[in-house]
Amino acid sequence: MENGQLIFDQELFDEQMKKSGLLNSLSNPIFPIQTQFCFIHLTIQEFLAALHVTETYAPADMNEFITNHIRSGKWHLVLQFIAGLLGKKIKMFYRDYIECVLAFAKNCDVIHGKHNLNVNQVLVMKCLREVDDEEIVKDVCETTAMNDVVKLRVDGFHPSDSAAVMFVCKHMKNLTQLYFRNYADCFREFLQLLQKRCINILELMEGFGDKDKHIGAGPVFSALMKSHCTLNHKHTNLTFLMLHGVLLDDPGLSNMRAFFENGHAKHLEKFHFDLPLSPLSWREEMNYTAPLSAR
């Protein structure tokens, strides 16, 4: 993949590979009697590239490979495959490869305690998720720049990206401020996060739209009441809670009442809550005036 090659001469494949169903045969436009091959999907080639790296590279060489390719979008899926394969090797007691996992996180940029998530930063978290080892992720968060993250904003990512971020967030000891938007598609991971770590400032926004895309206030307050931080660190208390565009049904109202009446909000200094708005009511609230052409 280094040179972008997608079509290969038949000499590169043995008969077993040719019959595997993973290849498409192509006629050579220059030499019609010669058959060429390509993989039926690029993902297969990317996985085999990752397998080649993890099976033939020494840990030091793999560290260099990860560092050199992590900022190139072309290699993102290959790196995720590498992370998953590394996780399997480590579980088989190849502990030398833990340093390779650390190589992913060393490419995270933390500025003034704020982790500005971009494509590359999310990739790092997705790779850590692929390793699928809580203890290793915990070690990564404690020994890299991730330990300096105080504030994290998760806004507008694909559900699988958000789920990976939440998986890693559980182990960031100094993280005290969280902002999540449109988290309904990965609500299980989100609620687990609220239950397993303490947060000082929590802002949630569900926006407007289909009610099926809303978790609602009930599960959020339920998770906060069950919160028990599993991190070995200086614990913090929830002092700021903002719920914007969150549905409030009868169970939600009941859980919110229990949250306040049973002492879970005793440290809360500021609480902001507003119901979801339709696009029209949002425009009306903002004194929106439709242009003449739209009337």
**pLDDT tens profile 100-117:** 998 898 877 665 556 567
pLDDT tier, 285 (very low <50, low <70, confident <90, very high otherwise): very low
First to last CA, the chain: 54
For 176-226, what is each residue's pLDDT tens digit?
999 988 777 788 888 989 998 999 999 998 754 445 556 788 999 999 999
- Asked if pLDDT for residue 260 goes beyond 50, the answer is yes
Contact 237, 198 (CB under 8 A): yes
Confidence at residue 258, expressed as pLDDT on a 0 to 100 scale = 95
Contact 121, 164 (CB under 8 A): no
Is the pTM above the cut of 0.85?
no
pLDDT tens figures, 146-157: 888 889 888 878
> Has residue 78 got a pLDDT over 70?
yes
Asked if residue 50 lies in contact with residue 81, where contact means CB atoms within 8 angstroms, the answer is yes
Q: Give the model's pLDDT for residue 267.
A: 95
Q: What is the pLDDT of residue 186?
A: 83
Structure confidence at residue 288 as a pLDDT band (50, 70, 90): very low
Tell whether the model's pLDDT for residue 37 goes beyond 80: no
Q: Which amino acid, one-letter code, is at 55?
A: E
